[in-house]
Amino acid sequence: MHIVGCERSGTTLLLEMMTAGFAFDARCEREQSLFDPPPPGARTFLSKKPLDILRLDSILRRDENLFVLYTVRDPRSVVTSRHAGRPDHYLSDFGTWKACEEAADRLREHARFVSVRFERLVEEPDRVQSEIAARLSFLSPTGSFARFHDTAAPTETGVLALGGVRPAQTDRISAWHEDLGRLKAELAGNPDLPRLLVERGYEPDDAWLGALDGVEPSAGPRRSRTPGWLREIDRTLRYGWKTRRYLARLR
């Protein structure tokens, strides 16, 4: 089972909840790409690599043993979120969130693809767990999502990503209010953001834009300085080779 989603969408939280809530033979300790083989002898293996969502379409359709959990979060909170281990940098942007959603849209009807909304995961974790169990009946429950923090033992990186091991916090749902300058900068380059917020059910209309009145845009530093088009060429070449190798192992 593989967890994916735009960075800062709750993939680490879901990894720890799944570990606490269901039985697996093994799990990744940090992040492990779908394209890296699981440990020998593990029949049920839990892994996560957020941006694998952009590259797994053909693999999910052909690998009958692959199940995917996709986390999605309000893009305003995604683009304003910072990792505690790298507080001076933003890890994602609206373009990446949109690309992840477009990739997920192609897979939403697939029986082995389950979408999990971050906001529901923190508001009603046990109900989300029950819904996952109903969709994936082979899973064996071992604990409660709501009490995942009682048994969670994430790596140091995982602790930083979670902001500490504690019960799921609903106060992060509207975290974008804390960094309106960054949000206004993202909006300037992505005018379709208000429309998508309505289409995806995050807002009933564009009245929320009033919160940005008088705010100065502040793009802030990104983790990578490499031009986006160059990164995409590199990813396409690397993932093309990895996909062919993965599919070859299925024969």
pLDDT recorded at residue 161: 57
Provide the CA 68 distance to its chain's centre, in angstroms: 11
Is 86 within 8 Å of 135 (Cβ atoms)?
Answer: no
- How many folded domains does the chain comprise? 1
User: Looking at residue 141, what DSSP letter applies?
Assistant: B
pLDDT tens digits for 42-73? 899 999 999 999 988 889 989 999 999 999 99
- Cross-strand pairs, 27: 46
pLDDT recorded at residue 218: 85
Domain membership of residue 23 as a residue range: 2-249
User: What is the domain-level CATH number for residue 163?
Assistant: 3.40.50.300
pLDDT recorded at residue 170: 85
pLDDT recorded at residue 160: 53
Q: Angle at Cα 4 formed by Cα 108 and Cα 147, nearest 5°?
A: 105
pTM of the model: 0.87
Structure tokens at 225: 């300085």
Q: Which residues of the chain have pLDDT under 50?
A: 226-227, 229
